C-alpha cells in the first residue's frame, strides 16, 4: 500500500459525489485517502448538481467511459432511483440510494449504506442499539436508511417525525410491516422515554438554522446524534453538549460507510451483497 495517490493520468479511474449544496461534503478527502491506502489509481471529485439538472447530469456522467462510480447525497438519494438499472437489497428496503457503480456490461447498480454506516459508527463508539428507544426526525433517504438499520440492529421502539406527513407515514408503514415487534409511533417530541435522539434532516447545515427538535425534554443520559457532517458540531450538538448529553457526530457515519462504499466500488477484496434487478430488467 502507498500513503499517497498516484499522479492523475490518462488511466486514472474517476468517481464523483453529487449533491446540492456540495461545499459541505467531506467525502472527497476521506475517499481519496482510502484510495491512496489501497494504492488505487483513482480519484473522487465533488460535483454540485441542482435537483432540476439531475437527469441531464446523470446522463452526462454515465457517458464518461472512465467514470466507475458515484456517491449520492442530498437531495438526490430518492430521485436517483430513476437512473438505476439494478437495485441493491438495502435500496429496495429503504427506497433510496447513496451510491451507484458501473457494471462490466454497462448497467448501473445502486446501493444504500447510510444506515449500515450509522449503526457501525454507533458500535465503534460503544453505543448499543439493542432494546434502545429512539427519536428520529427526518424520514427522507438518510432517515429511512437509519431507521431500517436501527430496527435490524434490535432497537425496541422508534418515534418518527417529518415535515412531510406522507414520508413519515410511509416509513412507519414499512417498519411495522418488516419489523412487527418494533414499537413505531409518529409525531410528538423527544422526551424522557428516548435513549437516543437523531437528526436526519439538513437543518443545521446553514447558518441561522433553528434546532431540528427541542432537547429540553430528554433525560440527562440520552445520547443526541446528528447526521450532518459540516459543521462537525451542529447547533443541535452544541446545545446538547452544553446540557451534558453525550453527542454522536455525523463523521462517524461517514467514516464507517466509506469503507463499505469503497468495497462496493470494487476497490477492496471483501465481497459486497448482490443486488436484485430493477423491475423489468434481467440480471
Topology (CATH level 3) of domain 115-253: Rossmann fold (3.40.50)
Q: What is the 8-class DSSP label of residue 260?
A: H
Largest separation between any pair of C-alpha atoms in the chain: 58
Catalytic annotation, residues: 77
Averaged pLDDT, 260-268: 92
- Main-chain dihedrals φ then ψ at residue 246, nearest 5 degrees: -70, 140
- Residue 264: exposure state from Cβ atoms within 10 A (0-12, 13-18, ≥19): buried
Tens of pLDDT, residues 42-55: 999 999 999 999 99
Q: What angle do CA 97, 98, 101 make, to 5 degrees?
A: 90
The pLDDT value given to residue 74: 87
Listed residue (89, 190, 99) closest to 148, CA to CA: 89
pLDDT-derived band at 268 (thresholds 50, 70, 90) equals low
> By C-alpha distance, which of 84, 145, 72 is closest to 110?
84
Give the closest residue to 61 by CA, choosing from 74, 78, 46, 41. Answer: 46
Provide the phi-psi class of 131: left if phi over 0, else alpha when psi is between -120 and 50, else beta: left
pLDDT band at 3 (very low <50, low <70, confident <90, very high): low
Asked if pLDDT for residue 194 goes beyond 80, the answer is yes
Q: Percent of the chain beyond pLDDT 90?
A: 84
Cis peptide before 21 (omega within 30 of 0): yes
* Per-residue confidence band for 5, with pLDDT thresholds at 50, 70 and 90: low
**Over 70: is that where the pLDDT of 2 sits?**
no
* Spatial strand order in the sheet of 99-102: 42-48, 13-19, 67-72, 99-102, 108-111, 86-87, 276-277
**Structure confidence by residue, pLDDT tens digits, 115-126:** 999 999 999 999
Higher per-residue confidence, 279 vs 103:
103
pTM score above 0.75? yes
Residue 25: half-sphere exposure toward Cβ, Cα within 13 Å? 25
Which pLDDT value is given to residue 93?
A: 87
Would the pLDDT of 57 be above 90?
yes
* pLDDT for the residue 26: 84
Higher pLDDT, 142 or 240: 240
| 119 CB neighbour count, 10 Å cutoff | 24
Q: Are 195 and 128 spatial neighbours (Cβ–Cβ below 8 Å)?
A: no
Beta-carbon contacts of 115 under 8 Å, excluding residues fewer than 6 positions away, are 90, 94, 144, 145, 146, 147, 148, 149, 150, 152
Q: How many CA atoms lie within 13 A of 244 on its CB side?
A: 5
Domain with CATH 3.40.50.10860 in the chain: 13-112
**At residue 208, what are phi and psi to the nearest 5 degrees?**
90, -5
The predicted pLDDT at position 195 comes to 98
- Omega within 30 of 0 (cis) for the link into 231: yes
Across the range 79-93, mean pLDDT stands at: 95
- State how far the Cα of 97 lies from the Cα of 60, in Å rounded to an integer: 19
CATH of domain 13-112: 3.40.50.10860
Kindly report whether the peptide bond that precedes residue 232 is cis, defined as omega within 30 degrees of 0.
Answer: no
Q: Is the pLDDT score of 240 beyond 80?
A: yes
**Residue 69 phi/psi, 5° resolution?**
-165, 160
Tell whether the model's pLDDT for residue 278 goes beyond 80.
Answer: no
| pLDDT tens readout for residues 249-263 | 999 999 999 999 999
pLDDT on residue 280: 30
User: What's the pLDDT tens digit per position in 132-165?
Assistant: 999 999 998 889 999 999 999 999 999 999 999 9
Please give the DSSP secondary-structure letter assigned to residue 273: P
CATH 3.40.50.720-classified regions of the chain: 115-253
Amino acid at each position: 500500500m502507498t500513503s499517497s495517490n498516484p499522479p492523475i493520468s490518462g488511466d486514472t479511474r474517476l468517481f464523483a459525489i453529487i449533491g446540492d449544496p456540495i461545499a459541505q461534503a467531506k467525502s472527497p478527502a476521506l475517499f481519496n485517502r482510502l484510495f491512496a491506502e489501497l494504492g488505487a489509481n483513482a480519484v473522487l471529485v465533488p460535483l454540485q448538481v441542482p435537483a432540476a439538472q439531475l437527469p441531464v447530469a446523470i446522463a452526462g456522467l454515465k457517458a464518461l467511459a472512465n467514470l466507475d462510480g458515484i456517491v449520492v447525497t442530498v437531495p438526490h438519494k430518492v430521485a436517483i432511483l430513476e437512473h438505476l438499472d439494478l437495485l441493491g437489497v438495502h435500496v429496495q428496503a429503504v427506497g433510496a440510494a447513496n451510491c451507484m457503480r458501473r457494471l462490466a456490461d454497462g448497467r448501473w447498480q445502486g446501493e444504500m449504506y447510510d444506515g449500515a454506516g450509522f449503526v457501525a459508527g454507533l458500535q465503534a463508539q460503544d453505543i448499543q442499539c439493542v432494546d434502545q428507544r429512539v427519536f428520529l426526525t427526518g424520514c427522507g433517504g438518510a432517515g429511512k436508511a437509519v431507521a431500517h438499520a436501527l430496527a435490524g440492529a434490535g432497537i425496541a421502539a422508534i418515534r418518527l417525525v417529518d415535515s412531510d406527513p406522507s414520508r413519515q407515514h410511509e416509513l412507519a408503514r414499512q417498519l411495522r410491516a418488516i419489523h412487527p415487534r418494533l414499537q413505531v409511533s409518529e409525531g410528538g417530541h423527544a422526551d424522557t422515554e428516548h435513549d437516543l435522539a437523531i437528526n436526519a434532516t439538513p437543518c443545521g447545515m446553514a447558518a441561522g438554522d433553528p434546532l431540528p427538535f427541542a432537547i429540553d425534554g430528554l433525560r440527562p443520559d440520552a445520547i443526541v446524534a446528528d447526521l450532518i457532517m459540516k459543521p462537525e458540531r451542529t447547533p443541535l450538538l452544541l446545545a446538547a453538549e452544553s446540557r451534558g448529553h453525550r453527542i454522536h457526530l455525523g463523521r462517524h457515519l461517514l467514516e464507517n460507510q466509506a469503507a463499505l462504499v469503497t468495497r462496493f466500488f470494487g476497490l477492496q477484496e471483501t465481497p459486497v451483497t448482490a443486488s436484485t434487478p430493477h423491475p423489468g430488467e434481467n440480471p
